[in-house]
Amino acid sequence: MSKLGQAKRIIFLKTADGQLFEVDEPVAMEFEIVKSFFDENEDAADDTVVPLPNVSAEPLAGIIEFCKAHVEFRANGAAGKDEVKKFNAEYIKEKSNEQLKELILAANYLNIKEMLDFLTETIANRLKNKSVEYVRAFFGIENDFTPQEEEAVRKEYEWAFEGVDED
């Protein structure tokens, strides 16, 4: 662990596809899995490489970008303010569902609560007030009901199909 007055410590992370990332310590410590790695190996050398066998480079880069910004927001006392919301909205805007899924899987494995909360909320918002057909198409989900089965479930909850957004 770095102490006050020491040079900024860098944590080395290695992804499943063999890429090496150099991450500032406060950002890497956002990842619960990295934090516990160092908590359990207190004597680990400064240049220890933490292997992340379940994460590939692309989502990790995205996660680092997100966590870095949020660490800064907290340091500046901006947590919960509009600029955070603006950053989050921009961050997620161009992400496809597939990218979002990769990010969730990685954030879940790395155990980053704040980011996982944000990502699951994003998915939930993409499901809100959407028609069944839209949800299937948007998430690429196959309808495995027979028409009779689907009709039965729909009939049971007719009121749930009122006021749905246009596809």
Interface with other proteins by CB under 8 A: which residues? 101, 104-105, 108, 116, 120-121, 123-124, 127-129, 131-132, 135-136, 139, 141-145, 149-150, 153-154, 157, 159-161, 164
List % helix, strand, coil for the chain (3-state, nearest 5).
55, 10, 35
For residue 91, the minimal CB distance to other proteins (Å) is 18
Nearer Cβ to other proteins (77/140): 140
Nearer Cβ to other proteins (48/161): 161
Span between the terminal Cα atoms of the chain, in Å: 52
Tokens of 110: 């790395």
The DSSP code sequence of 120-145 is HHHHHHHHTT--HHHHHHHHT----S
The DSSP code sequence of 89-106 is HHHHHT--HHHHHHHHHH
Nearer Cβ to other proteins (23/107): 107
For residue 99, the minimal CB distance to other proteins (Å) is 13
Nearer Cβ to other proteins (11/63): 63
For residue 162, the minimal CB distance to other proteins (Å) is 9
What gap in Å lies between CA 132 and CA 144, rounded to an integer? Answer: 13
For residue 150, the minimal CB distance to other proteins (Å) is 6
What gap in Å lies between CA 41 and CA 43, rounded to an integer? Answer: 5
